């Protein structure tokens, strides 16, 4: 089987792009990546996206992008795994190259969220969970995470201030990230002063809605960065049907498989891009991957373990919270950022000497988890 390399990446700065359409975002990211790739012939296009049908009246994104890029005739498709769509698209691209069936694959993660009213967007995001049993009772995606965070705080006797260290870390790292939506640091006190959206989740502890697209060109031909493993696992769709909702089983399994397949030592990872949609998701993800003990991730964050200068830098360009969270784009942004770190092109956000990095992108509340392990080719 082929090895899989990242040939190049291209990102659109995350933000509120009132003058750009869903297609504009995808094309801009793709052209950036293709320009950086030099002269390659793309033989497959994979688009990761969650909500274009509901929010933008547009499906069929594979053919749409091939067509918009003047590449009609190319094999092209869209994959969807809620907020994990971008990571899943990279996974699909990885499998395509790994199998030997395709040589160069263009992967694009995209979401155009800002054209839509908040309450409609809230309904669309809730589609990550059950229509028949979760959406019908009025639950939103943020409320499920709020219920989980309160269970966690109660089970482990942790105050929300500890968990709110994650958005503080994210914003600090985003200050120097050119493609981040919010390049502004804030303090724990600022978080505490912001209103609750769904207690205990606050305005400043919740990932924003964003427009954005990130593109990655995968290739069987050697380049700067190799994807050592791309693993996916799933959990029960309905949060209340999990034996232990505080166990991120999908992340646990995807991470374990990825570590085994790549033969890396997880203790020697140089940085970690996690799915910090809300503080509770950051905490439970780190605990599922074994970087923090159960109930301790918030304390570890407070002690500086996950700071940029700490033992294990996370969210090196601001993560979902500050780089922004264009839902179906996020997983592709994470992989693009890992590429920047490992190819030494991360600028002011460079983790010095980074050799191995991991990304973790989830759909739903850890319902689908996609983990990638990448290394610098020396």
- Give the footprint of another protein on this chain (CB under 8 A): 117-120, 122-123, 126, 130-140, 142-144, 146-148, 150-151, 154, 195-201, 236, 238-241, 245
| Nearest alpha-carbon partner for 255 in 280, 235, 238 | 235
Percent helix / strand / coil, the chain, rounded to 5: 40, 20, 40
Q: How far is the CB of 157 from another protein (least distance, A)?
A: 12
Shortest Cβ distance from residue 365 to another protein (Å)?
A: 12
**Cα(200)–Cα(149) distance, rounded to whole angstroms?**
7
- Measured from the CB atom, the residue of 101 and 196 that comes closer to another protein is 196
Active-site annotation holds for 325: yes
**Closer of 144 and 284 to another protein (Cβ):** 144
Q: Classify each residue of 152-177 as buried b or exposed e, where b means 16 or more C-beta atoms within 10 Å of its C-beta.
A: bbeebebebebbbbbbbbbbbbbebb
CA–CA dist 272, 120 (Å, integer): 32
How do strand 44-48 and strand 75-79 relate by DSSP bridges? parallel
Q: Tokens 């949609």 label which residue?
A: 277
Whichever of 88 and 146 has its CB closer to another protein, that residue is 146
Catalytic residue among 91, 179, 275, 325: 325
Least Å from the CB of residue 325 to another protein: 16
| Tokens 């067509």, residue located | 67
Confirm whether 60 is a catalytic residue.
Answer: no
DSSP lists the bridge partners of residue 370 as 232, 361
- Minimum CB separation from another protein for residue 145, in Å? 9
Query: Given the complex with another protein, which of 127 and 185 has the nearer CB atom?
Result: 127
Q: Which residues are part of the catalytic machinery? A: 83, 325
């Amino acid at each position: 089987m082929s090895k899989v390399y990242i040939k190049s990446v291209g990102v659109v700065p995350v933000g509120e792009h009132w003058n750009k359409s869903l297609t504009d975002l995808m094309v801009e990211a793709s052209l950036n990546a293709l320009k950086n790739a030099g002269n390659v012939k793309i033989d497959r296009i994979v688009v990761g996206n969650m909500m274009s049908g509901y929010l933008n009246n547009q499906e069929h994104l594979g053919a749409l992008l091939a067509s918009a890029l003047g590449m009609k005739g190319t094999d092209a498709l869209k994959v969807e795994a809620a907020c994990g769509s971008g990571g899943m698209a990279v996974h699909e691209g990885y499998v395509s190259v790994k199998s030997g069936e395709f040589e160069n694959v263009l992967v694009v993660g995209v979401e155009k969220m800002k054209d839509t009213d908040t309450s409609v967007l809230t309904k669309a995001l809730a589609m990550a969970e059950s229509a028949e049993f979760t959406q019908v009772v009025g639950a939103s995606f943020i409320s499920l995470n709020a219920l989980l965070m309160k269970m966690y705080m109660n089970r482990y006797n942790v105050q929300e201030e500890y968990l709110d260290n994650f958005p503080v870390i994210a914003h600090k790292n985003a200050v120097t990230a050119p493609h981040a939506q919010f390049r502004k640091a804030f303090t724990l006190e600022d978080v505490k002063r912001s209103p609750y959206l769904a207690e205990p989740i606050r305005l400043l502890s919740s990932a924003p809605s964003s427009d954005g697209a990130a593109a990655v060109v995968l290739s069987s031909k050697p380049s700067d960065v190799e994807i050592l493993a791309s693993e996916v696992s799933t959990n029960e769709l309905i949060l209340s049907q999990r034996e232990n909702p505080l166990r991120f089983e999908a992340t646990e399994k995807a991470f374990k498989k990825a570590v085994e397949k790549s033969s890396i030592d997880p203790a020697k990872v140089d940085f970690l891009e996690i799915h910090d949609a809300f503080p509770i998701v950051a905490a439970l993800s780190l605990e599922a991957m074994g970087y923090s003990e159960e109930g301790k991730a918030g304390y570890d964050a407070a002690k500086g373990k996950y700071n940029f200068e700490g033992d294990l830098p996370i969210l090196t360009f601001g993560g979902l919270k500050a780089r922004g969270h264009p839902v179906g784009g996020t997983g592709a942004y994470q992989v693009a950022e890992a590429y920047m770190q490992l190819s030494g092109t991360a600028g002011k956000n460079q983790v010095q000497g980074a050799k191995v990095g991991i990304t973790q992108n989830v759909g739903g509340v850890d319902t689908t988890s996609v983990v990638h392990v990448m290394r610098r080719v020396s």
